[in-house]
Amino acid sequence: MTIEDGGDSMPKYTIDPRDKAMVDSGFSGGRKLYGDAFNAWPIYRPIQRLCPVEHYENYLCRTSPQSKDYIMSISDPEAVAAFDRLVDEFNADVERIKQQNDEATKDRFVQRAKELIYKKS
């Protein structure tokens, strides 16, 4: 069983009701981004095993491919752009962070991502 989201002026996405409920809970409290996107960041990864972080939509393709279109349709475009800019900034610095064993900078990036993802409207 599926449901169609969107009105006449909005695209329709077919999504299983259980998946929709899970996705909607990831936007609880007026979040502008899907809460699961925080898992894209190296929260507990040792500094020497850091690797580039995926952009928002790319991360969704990997973790929630059947719900990606729906998630993107309810994600705030400005927040997605801010997420992707933060990813680009981190990815440009990841090798230096590893070489200098700069745990503090890694933690600051993770904190900034957390604030962005869990920011409520």
Residue 23 lies in a domain: no
Residue 8 lies in a domain: no
Statement: residue 27 has pLDDT above 70: yes
- Full residue range of the structural domain in which residue 55 is found: 31-118
Residue 13 lies in a domain: no
Nearest Cα to 80, choosing from 50, 58, 98? 58
pLDDT mean over 43-54: 94
Residue 15 lies in a domain: no
Q: How many domains does the chain have?
A: 1
> Can you tell me the distance from the alpha carbon of 83 to that of 77, in angstroms, rounded to the nearest whole number?
10
Tell me if 116 sits within 8 A of 83, measured CB to CB.
Answer: yes
Residue 39 lies in a domain: yes
Statement: residue 120 has pLDDT above 90: no
Kindly report, residue by residue over 97-106, the tens digit of the pLDDT: 999 999 999 9
pLDDT mean over 21-31: 92
Residue 4 lies in a domain: no
Kindly report, residue by residue over 76-87, the tens digit of the pLDDT: 999 999 999 999
Tell me the two tokens of residue 1: 């069983």
Residue 50 lies in a domain: yes
Element (H, E) at 25: helix 17-25
Residue 98 lies in a domain: yes
